[in-house]
Amino acid sequence: MMLSGWGQFPKHEATEVAPRTEEAIKERVALGKAIPRGNGRAYGDSAVSSTNTINMRHFDRMISFDETTGQLVAETGVLAADIIAAFLPRGWFLSVTPGTKFVTLGGLIAADVHGKNHHVVGGFGNFVDWIDIMGADGQVMRCDRSTNAETFAWTIGGMGLTGVILRAGIRLLRVESGWIRQTTIPTKNLEDTMDAFERSNGATYSVAWIDCLSRGARQGRSLLILGEHAGLADLDNKRAEKPFDTRSKRSLSVPFHLPSVLMNGATVRAFNSLYYWNGCRNAGESLVDWDSYFYPLDAILDWNRIYGKRGFAQFQCVLPLDASRAGMAVLLREVARAGAGSFLAVLKRLGPQDSRISFPMEGYTLALDFPVKPRTLKLMKTLDAITIDHGGRFYLAKDSRMQADTLRLSDDRIDGFTQMRSSNAYNTAFQSEQAKRLKI
């Protein structure tokens, strides 16, 4: 079958199986070059093996929950959406969440995802208490920060390349309602945007949509969106009676691949102007439901089809704090000059993180989606070079086309990761198409 990530690029002819027992997983691992796959929401080929993709969809049980500590024990094929559906009505939410709820627990751990609150609490791995992982020998071991600590550390953010995570104990966040107190702050340009981020560093959640095609004095104009979990005191009487009843919304759907010609500089520029104008019109404070705040794109099923049959690629980098202002300005200038803007352009402030192989560092991360075309792939290589020049690195969960030398120039931890994989025979047992491409 043909397999790809959410970006539908690249596509690989691949073998995929969906075992129902641990013994069946062990048999697949013994064949070598295996990679676990969750819901396929990594953008590129990090969850694809041409010969041995192990789909974890049958390992989707929630096993136990401790109401005192908030610890959930679950199999790693469970979706974030399932966790929210089961526990938000009981007053618990994910401590860290990416921009989609259609990702598995295994994917959350393997990518060590970061959310809109990284500057406050760090990545998802900070809330993983332990994992059960099947290694290259087919044996399952319990790992945490004191037992089998090396394997635990390399697995958080290790993109499935240290084994098959079967179960995990994670800590959820206690909340009083399903509502978010949202504040929208329009900014005039990149400098104004980053100043607003720094002034708002005490907000629990912060993210900016950024106009990547504006130029001159308006370059980097944005809508900074802050958020706090609403308490009962923040709700009116009607909402306070049923604080978790936020009424599920009807999802829209993109039924087919749109013509790629629709994604061009003119249409993106028009969309960006309208979106910014609408954000300015609705600036200030409002009360929104959790789904609208954290997962706006999930309301459009199969939105990846917007980019056409050739798919799309995402560029996501993080620049260190002291180089972020200068580096982001150069990146945005290059995107605007190329006229290949992205209407899904996101800027976030990340906090400190000391981890073996995870993506975040203290600074700013920029994410841009581009339709797959020769000129946009060329542009992304230019953006790679700018990132490296400013001491930045790249997010493997979003990568679909980077080359091995680019990765090593951006991240001096890769050689240590590769050596660890070799010394534990992980390199022969576990291999994705991304790992093959990046020589890790």
Q: What is the band of 257 on the pLDDT scale with cuts at 50, 70, 90? A: confident
The pLDDT value recorded for residue 339 is 83
Q: Per-residue pLDDT averaged across 251-255, rounded?
A: 81
DSSP secondary structure of 262-292: GSSHHHHHHHHHHHHHHHHHT-EEEEEEHHH
Q: Residue 54 pLDDT more than 90?
A: yes
Q: Per-residue pLDDT averaged across 261-265, rounded?
A: 70
The pLDDT value recorded for residue 407 is 98
Give, as one character, the DSSP assignment of residue 21: S
Give yes or no for a contact between 289 and 247, defined as CB atoms under 8 angstroms apart.
yes
Q: Residue 261 pLDDT more than 70?
A: no
Percent pLDDT > 90 in the chain is: 89
Q: Residue 191 pLDDT more than 80?
A: yes
CB contact set of 337 (below 8 Å; sequence gap of 6+): none
The pLDDT value recorded for residue 72 is 99
- Can you tell me the distance from the alpha carbon of 436 to that of 440, in angstroms, rounded to the nearest whole number? 7
Tens of pLDDT along 314-343? 999 999 999 999 999 999 999 999 987 677
Mean of per-residue pLDDT scores for the chain = 95
Tens of pLDDT along 419-434? 999 999 999 999 999 9
Tens of pLDDT along 358-371? 999 999 999 999 99
Q: What is the band of 238 on the pLDDT scale with cuts at 50, 70, 90? A: very high
Three-state SS string over 340-376 comes to CCCCCEEEEEECCCCCCCCCCCCEEEEEEEEECCHHH
- Is the bond preceding 374 in cis, omega lying within 30 degrees of 0? no
- Can you tell me the distance from the alpha carbon of 384 to that of 142, in angstroms, rounded to the nearest whole number? 38
CATH 3.40.50.2300 applies to domain 62-174: no
Tens of pLDDT along 216-230? 999 999 999 999 999
Give yes or no for a contact between 350 and 318, defined as CB atoms under 8 angstroms apart.
yes
Tens of pLDDT along 115-167? 999 999 999 999 999 999 999 999 999 999 999 999 999 999 999 999 999 99
Give yes or no for a contact between 22 and 63, defined as CB atoms under 8 angstroms apart.
no
Q: Residue 34 pLDDT more than 70?
A: yes
Kindly report the length of the chain.
440
**Angle between the N-to-C axes of helices 321-338 and 374-389, in degrees from 0 to 180, rounded to the nearest 10:** 160
Q: Residue 264 pLDDT more than 90?
A: no
- In the chain, where the domains are located: 62-174
Quick one: how far is CA 202 from the chain centroid? 22
Q: Which CA distances in Å does 400 have to 89, 233, 421?
A: 37, 45, 21
Which amino acid, one-letter code, is at 398? K
Dihedral sign computed on CA atoms, order 370, 374, 379, 385: positive
- Can you tell me the distance from the alpha carbon of 316 to that of 348, in angstroms, rounded to the nearest whole number? 11
Q: Per-residue pLDDT averaged across 398-417, rounded?
A: 98
Q: Residue 252 pLDDT more than 90?
A: no
> Which bin fits 14, alpha (ψ -120 to 50), beta or left (φ > 0)?
beta
Q: Residue 232 pLDDT more than 70?
A: yes
The pLDDT value recorded for residue 341 is 66
Q: What is the band of 203 on the pLDDT scale with cuts at 50, 70, 90? A: very high
